[in-house]
Amino acid sequence: AQSVTQLDSQVPVFEEAPVELRCNYSSSVSVYLFWYVQYPNQGLQLLLKYLSGSTLVESINGFEAEFNKSQTSFHLRKPSVHISDTAEYFCAVVSYNTDKLIFGTGTRLQVFP
Amino acid sequence: DTAVSQTPKYLVTQMGNDKSIKCEQNLGHDTMYWYKQDSKKFLKIMFSYNNKELIINETVPNRFSPKSPDKAHLNLHINSLELGDSAVYFCASSQAPARSTDTQYFGPGTRLTVL
């Protein structure tokens, strides 16, 4: 069975500072990895995903995540955050032999002016 | 145009009542899902349908019954509501089932409060 751990439930940061949201996963088979974002009072939206190939994946709004197989991690980073990045961020995994997207418990990113 | 829509947005009801939540997607997707998000924001799959066929049925009380009249709709009916059913319920859709890695598109959620 797969599982996802997001170590930080909340990450407060000032605007224009860098941020890293941590995600570790556990699985006995190969997995695909996702980051979803949930803005206040909205549904989840895909931010980025790793399927294969280059271990560094980027989103259109400046976030990036790096797949590290040896450390079973998929941390999300942004070099300079904006107020509008305030949201809940969910890491998720799916394996090739299951149809379930397994979510972590989420990290609330709070950006202060 | 809303891609995945849910009605109602808010639902407040008494224990023991029966209620339904409706979901519609206009993306032409074959797969639809119901997720439950609890008060701690933990999100868990409940059901998944592919081409109107049930493919995932997690350990959910049988008071919860999904119904897919066609590929564009997946409704959730809940009988004998309990306090613990209070949560936000999200509908989602994707072109193919989750193992395909197709992006899942989520609705805005239905906040159910059981008094």
Mean pLDDT of A67-78: 94
Q: What is residue B1's predicted lDDT score, i.e. its pLDDT?
A: 64
Q: What is the largest CA-CA distance in chain B?
A: 40
What is the CB-side half-sphere exposure of residue A3 using CA atoms within 13 A? 5
Dig out the tokens for A1 from the structure: 């069975």
Q: Which residue from A minimizes the CA distance to B111? A: A41
Mean pLDDT of A67-74: 93
Specify the amino acid at residue A48.
Answer: L
**Using the 8-state DSSP alphabet, how is residue A3 labeled?**
E
Nearest chain A Cα distance for residue B96, angstroms = 10
Mean pLDDT of A91-109: 89
Q: What is the pLDDT of residues B2-34, one digit of tens each?
A: 799 999 999 999 999 999 999 999 999 999 999
Mean pLDDT of A80-103: 91
3-state secondary structure of B50: strand
What is the CB-side half-sphere exposure of residue B1 using CA atoms within 13 A? 5
Q: Do B108 and A42 touch (CB under 8 A)?
A: yes
| In chain A, residues 62-101 whose CB comes closer than 8 Å to chain B | 88, 90, 94-101
Radius of gyration for chain B, computed over Cα atoms and rounded to the nearest angstrom: 13
> What parts of chain B have a pLDDT lower than 70?
1
Specify the amino acid at residue B6.
Answer: Q
Q: What is residue A53's predicted lDDT score, i.e. its pLDDT?
A: 84
Between A55 and A18, residue with greater pLDDT: A18
Q: What is residue B45's predicted lDDT score, i.e. its pLDDT?
A: 93
The CA distance from A83 to B27, in Å, is 31
Whether chain B has a CB inside 8 Å of the CB on A60: the answer is: no
